[in-house]
Structure 1
Amino acid sequence: MDSGMQHYVQIHRGLRETKNADGAVPVTIEKLAELLFCTPRNVKFVLRRLEEKGWIRWTPGRGRGNGSTLVFLRPIGEVLEMKVDALLENGRMSEALDLISDAQVDENLKQKMWTRVNVYLGLRSEPEESSTRDVLQMIRGQRLENVDPAFAYTVFEVYILGQLFDTLVDYDTVSESFLPKLAHRWESNDDRTRWTFYLRKGVRFHDGRLLTSRDVQSTLYRLRRKNSPAIKLFGDVEDVETFGDYVVVFRLSRPNAFFLHLAGCLYMAVLPVEEKEGLPIGSGPFRIGKLEKSKLTLTAFDGYFGYRPLIDRVDVWFLPGIEQESRTYHLSDQDDVEDSKELSKPGMGCRYLIFNFRTPGIHHDPEFREAVRLLYDRHAIIEDLGGNLIEPAAGFLPSRSKRSVIPPSSLDEASERLRRSGYEGQTLQLVFMDRKQERLEAQWLKDRCSLVGLKLELCPQEISLCRTESESGELALATEMLEDDWELELLNFFLNEGTYLNRKLDDRRLAELHRLFDGFMGKEKAGRAEVFERAQALLEQENWLLYGTHINHRGYFNRNLYGLRMDSLGFPNLSRLWVKSENTREKD
């Protein structure tokens, strides 16, 4: 923000409530000096500059009893929009975002400025001496706090890390089978206790080092050394052996028909044996060019062994507090936001409410939990809030929900259950991630509970707290979204020590739940499906976790963006996106 703009905003902020009927603001030089934190002499210099810009009209008082007046000639919103546009045109995105964030204006005006930023964001071309670079720009409401695949937690972290790192195999959702990736071939012995992978030759990390079997071996050892929350998934692995540079063998303690799922999961994304300080090094299609508090830059990895991305650079700007219900991807040189195509995809997984059994309280009573189950009405919340909430959930898998009968709830029955539980009017804390949709749902639940006398205190938390907090609050509202390999994702939810489920259930309940998964990886698909069914049913029957709603991913894309494919997490495949130039389109 330049000094003239800053001065205008400071004066407007301090005087906007003191206007006369004719729009003039009575003010003294001394008052302006107080607002601008400068001397009376400098105030006159500032006023002269603002008059030259045509932003104010200043009439100094002449003679005893005649006070000075100031008239704002440009609405503050218009000035702010002008400044935002100028910053964006000059590529000063960070300053534009700071300006919007700091502006003390009403939400309608702030949203209007966000719309202007969204128009600028998207895929655009930057000229170079010999060619052009295609640059995709996005904005996120939460910062990227983790770039270590051993501790992947949020949906966006998983998405970004998937661009930076590669795994031995890749899961194909269409065929429900595994495809080659870092390994071009694999095999197991008859009882599936020994899995051998044959690596591609010539695969390089982002720093130029060749990827070998020792890197694969050290990646598993690293998970153990760092005590990754997902280490329980790899409990059957006794050792990893290397045979030359391109053969790696996993020896298991018992038969494991599920091992390819583990070989393809993000936790086993291969890192170099010798980790260097600084930015993380992977072998994926993009590498990190810059990682700052407010910005992440990904650049296409020209040496990628697979298909080199069609986008040359991705800029992700982090601005905590921005509210986005849907993601938008527009071309910066086109202002017709309405001329977009919508792409939507129902997400695998659901929103849910979970009780914190690691804290004492009334929520340990089954009658109380049943009362909350009735209050957390899956039909009513969709009817009242709508948006991306698309259908009631009876489990994490939409297929389970479709074959389940979910009756509407009764407030009278909820009130009776609450009375029988012995509830005495105490206030319970409801923890949730501090985002717009979660705030709406938390407030909805608080209002609904108040109808029967149940008191909730809303406790929004940042992502960093949600990662580790287990002892705060009696209830938590959360979301579990599953990637394409939903079996692996669901197993991870039940066994990973870092998930809400494993941090909120007490040791007795966790032991009962985890016993269901003993021998899980040795079963074929039908047997594994039965275990998942029993685990979801246990949570439902005991009301340890209350299923809420399934969610629809929705994005708006400019008509000239091609290669669109929304993944299970609701993001486009960055490696396949490309822009079709306006001059190649047929004329109407």
Structure 2
Amino acid sequence: MEVADHYIQLRMTFSNVHDEEELHTTIGELAQHLCCTMRNMNLIMNKFMDNNWIQWNPKRGRGKKSVLVFCVPLLEVARERFDRLLQGNRLEEAYELAARLPFSLREMLMQGLQDQFGLRSDQGAMGRIDTLRIPQNFPFETLDPTQAAMWGEVGIVAEVFDRLVRYNAERQMCEPSLAVAWESNPEGTEWTFYLHKGVLFHHGRVLEADDVKFTFERIILDIDNPCRPLFGTIAKIETFDALTVRFVLHNPNFMFPDLMSSMCASILPRDVEPDRMHPIGTGPYRLTRNHPRLLVLDVFPSYFRGRAYIDRVEVWQLPQSGLMESVIKQDLFPDGQPHAVQHEVQGGVYMTFNMRKEGPQQDIYFRRAVQQLLNQQEMMDAFPGTGTQPAYSLVREHFWEPTDAEIVGCSIQQKRPETLESNTRTSLIRAEELLKRSSYAGQTLRLWVEDGKKMETDMLWFVQRCEQIGLHVTVVPGDPVSAVYHDEFGSCDLVYTGEVFDEHAMLGLLTMYTFQNTLFLVAMDDVWKRELDQECRRIVGIQDGGERLGALLELEARLVDEALLLPAYSFREEHAHHPSLRDYKVVGFGMPDLRRLWVKRKPDAKNEETSYPAYIPLW
């Protein structure tokens, strides 16, 4: 351990003692605090004095205490040590040092991490190694493709695994991946896939049809698997040879190839016990380390679609309460303007209700009162210039907009945006009338809000509107990881969160209504889950793609009309990167396409010019 680490540990032990204040102690007591011998403690004290960090006036004799004075502030020594670790590319040790410090000091040190993210290109004995470092502020709970629900987890799954089919967002169609081709019978009840030859798993074995069979039988035979409803039409799976697999379905499913492009459909090897934190796939990157603070992906040189350019991807877990996006982005590009990539997020922010809990949210009049209070345009007017726009659907291309909510019996008539006249007073009057007709009895309700400054600011505005009509709401901040995997909002009544789709909007909606680990379905009761599942089974049996999308949008409109889904706004991400990073393209879930990303170094670049900043927004 470095002498600076000893000083930091000792200074934190006596945090109640001010700098330049006398502390009466003994070498024996100090040695106990540092868990070392008295002989080593004397050596350490000499080093402290060599650095002018302390004054030490030793006293001899039984019962006599020496005088210790700390001369240098804890932050000064910690920052110097932190900077040396960063300069030595020892990020993990720097992180551990910062994590030990009090909150205020940790925040000051973590500012120095911003220069470490982005892409580093280093020349060593093994040649040139390009490493992309990405910050993340939520821990990974699982990397099992059938369980993963957070966008960061799904982003890792996308790099570790492949699927039979991949969706081309630019052409808006499914294309071959692990399967070179597929076909179905006219009824859409049998689908046969023909596999690519010679595809290797990360552990060295060749992909076979039995691996595909294993992957999907693992899902459909497990009644508790959260993605089982997504593949609920599968009756049996047949393999004819090593490269041919057939799915026989209970019902027609003309969206089956699209389902095969879902992250949930990632193919696993049958000869390895699935490990939710250390998975094995066929993807362009293999997982080589998964530590609570650091996940490492190394390039898979034998990838069947060609080796990726970036050699290593490191995902660093940063303290949730500390380092925010603004800190990472601040002064990231001191030497000029970065290239910016705009990404319109598919999905959006919405409110729903905990339908598993008894309460006024079971009453449609109450839910519609909340719907009036969460007026999209009025929220945007309250927070101008935030890069958001009001949304009335979670599908980006279909942000239809109601102009007047006329209450006729129990229905709300929704019209087109051309005649929109936002009126705050009118929406509050409607909300108050609906609240009076509801079963709400004046109790204080709990509103679960996904962690984040913007989300919490939204809900402070919402709570103020609630108070104006006598609805009492208290905000409960929480993180989506705990909500999905540990039922964090089980005791709450309202839920304010967001959904991020990949670029396949139709599949995104279908997944939201059938994959049990989406926050929306976590909040739904069994009755609504069954109804959504049945309706989605009917929709995938529609042969025409346009009609299918229309049916899914009608289902979404019904949820809006029932005031179970209250879209609030959509948003745009801006990725910024150094001009030397080329082919920076944002794909599903807001992640860059790592297989396309490459570095254009100047021919005369000095060896030390090896850092290429990149800002990847955190959801």
1:170 match: secondary structure: strand
Deviations 1:442-489 (A, max 9, x none): 444445434544131415246144335273211112211110222111
TM-score by length of 1: 0.87
What displacement does 1:226 show?
Answer: 3.4
What displacement does 1:438 show?
Answer: 3.8
- Per mean C-alpha deviation after superposition, the further-off stretch among 499-508 and 204-213 is 499-508
Alignment partner of 1:559 out of 574, 579, 583:
579
Change over 3 Å in CA distance of 1:468–1:46 after alignment to 2: closer
What displacement does 1:212 show?
Answer: 1.2
What displacement does 1:573 show?
Answer: 0.9
What displacement does 1:412 show?
Answer: 4.3
Q: Write out aligned runs for 1:500-579 (5 A).
A: 500-523=519-542, 524-579=544-599
Structure 2 residues without counterparts, runs of 5 or longer: 60-65, 404-419, 607-619
Counterpart residue number, 1:229: 226
Counterpart residue number, 2:505: 486
Q: One-letter code of the match for 1:255?
A: P
What displacement does 1:293 show?
Answer: 2.0
Alignment partner of 2:214 out of 218, 221, 244:
218
Change over 3 Å in CA distance of 1:256–1:368 after alignment to 2: closer
Q: Is the 8 A contact 1:119 1:330 kept in 2?
A: no
Are residue 425 (structure 1) and residue 442 (structure 2) matched?
yes
Change over 3 Å in CA distance of 1:327–1:37 after alignment to 2: closer
Deviations 1:304-352 (A, max 9, x none): 1102110111121223424433696999xx9737643332211010111
What displacement does 1:46 show?
Answer: 5.3
Deviations 1:114-165 (A, max 9, x none): 3321211221133332412111122211122212111121111111101011
What displacement does 1:354 show?
Answer: 0.9
Change over 3 Å in CA distance of 1:584–1:191 after alignment to 2: farther
1:175 match: secondary structure: coil
What displacement does 1:391 show?
Answer: 0.8
Q: Is the 8 A contact 1:356 1:504 kept in 2?
A: yes
- Per mean C-alpha deviation after superposition, the further-off stretch among 341-350 and 27-36 is 27-36
Q: Is the 8 A contact 2:445 2:473 kept in 1?
A: yes
Change over 3 Å in CA distance of 1:330–1:182 after alignment to 2: farther
Q: Is the 8 A contact 2:10 2:33 kept in 1?
A: no
Q: Is the 8 A contact 2:220 2:234 kept in 1?
A: no
Counterpart residue number, 1:379: 377
Q: Is the 8 A contact 1:58 1:70 kept in 2?
A: yes
Q: One-letter code of the match for 1:293?
A: P
Distance in 2, Cα, partners of 1:12 & 1:511: 56
What displacement does 1:79 show?
Answer: 3.0
Q: Is the 8 A contact 1:164 1:285 kept in 2?
A: yes
Counterpart residue number, 1:275: 272
Deviations 1:180-214 (A, max 9, x none): 11111222223322222221111111111111111
Counterpart residue number, 1:64: none
Counterpart residue number, 1:458: 476
Q: Is the 8 A contact 1:382 1:389 kept in 2?
A: no
Q: Write out aligned runs for 1:393-404 (5 A).
A: 393-404=391-402
Distance in 2, Cα, partners of 1:133 & 1:84: 24
Counterpart residue number, 1:173: 169
1:151 match: secondary structure: coil
Q: Write out aligned runs for 1:135-174 (5 A).
A: 135-174=131-170
1:370 match: secondary structure: helix
Q: One-letter code of the match for 2:96?
A: D
- Per mean C-alpha deviation after superposition, the further-off stretch among 507-516 and 476-485 is 507-516
Distance in 1, Cα, partners of 2:250 & 2:366: 43
Q: Is the 8 A contact 2:456 2:477 kept in 1?
A: no
Distance in 2, Cα, partners of 1:339 & 1:112: 26
What displacement does 1:102 show?
Answer: 2.7
Q: Is the 8 A contact 2:373 2:428 kept in 1?
A: no
Change over 3 Å in CA distance of 1:18–1:374 after alignment to 2: farther
Distance in 1, Cα, partners of 2:326 & 2:186: 48
Deviations 1:67-86 (A, max 9, x none): 9684644x544433322221
Q: One-letter code of the match for 1:497?
A: Q
What displacement does 1:172 show?
Answer: 0.6
Are residue 449 (structure 1) and residue 466 (structure 2) matched?
yes
- Per mean C-alpha deviation after superposition, the further-off stretch among 441-450 and 492-501 is 441-450
Alignment partner of 1:245 out of 231, 242, 245:
242
- Per mean C-alpha deviation after superposition, the further-off stretch among 36-45 and 154-163 is 36-45
CA RMSD in angstroms, aligned pairs only = 3.5
Q: One-letter code of the match for 2:484?
A: C
Q: Write out aligned runs for 1:79-158 (5 A).
A: 79-106=77-104, 110-158=106-154
Deviations 1:230-277 (A, max 9, x none): 222222222222221111222223332211101221222111122246
Change over 3 Å in CA distance of 1:40–1:242 after alignment to 2: closer
What displacement does 1:516 show?
Answer: 3.6
Distance in 1, Cα, partners of 2:342 & 2:183: 38
Counterpart residue number, 2:360: 362
Are residue 4 (structure 1) and residue 4 (structure 2) matched?
yes
Deviations 1:82-132 (A, max 9, x none): 2222112223211211222332253xx645533321211221133332412
Q: One-letter code of the match for 1:421?
A: S
Are residue 202 (structure 1) and residue 198 (structure 2) matched?
yes
Q: Is the 8 A contact 2:4 2:81 kept in 1?
A: no
Query: Alignment identity in percent?
Result: 28
Q: Is the 8 A contact 2:220 2:231 kept in 1?
A: no
Distance in 1, Cα, partners of 2:6 & 2:480: 30
Distance in 1, Cα, partners of 2:6 & 2:450: 33
Q: Is the 8 A contact 1:330 1:558 kept in 2?
A: no
Deviations 1:34-80 (A, max 9, x none): 8983699988765543332234566899xxxxx9684644x544433
What displacement does 1:3 show?
Answer: 4.5
Counterpart residue number, 1:287: 286
Change over 3 Å in CA distance of 1:158–1:388 after alignment to 2: farther
1:223 match: secondary structure: helix
Change over 3 Å in CA distance of 1:191–1:8 after alignment to 2: closer
Equivalent pairs counted in the alignment come to 575
Q: One-letter code of the match for 1:548?
A: A
Change over 3 Å in CA distance of 1:447–1:564 after alignment to 2: same
Q: One-letter code of the match for 1:481?
A: V
Counterpart residue number, 2:408: none
Q: One-letter code of the match for 1:244?
A: D
Distance in 1, Cα, partners of 2:601 & 2:456: 40
Q: Is the 8 A contact 1:327 1:555 kept in 2?
A: no
Deviations 1:535-554 (A, max 9, x none): 12112112112211112222
What displacement does 1:299 show?
Answer: 0.8
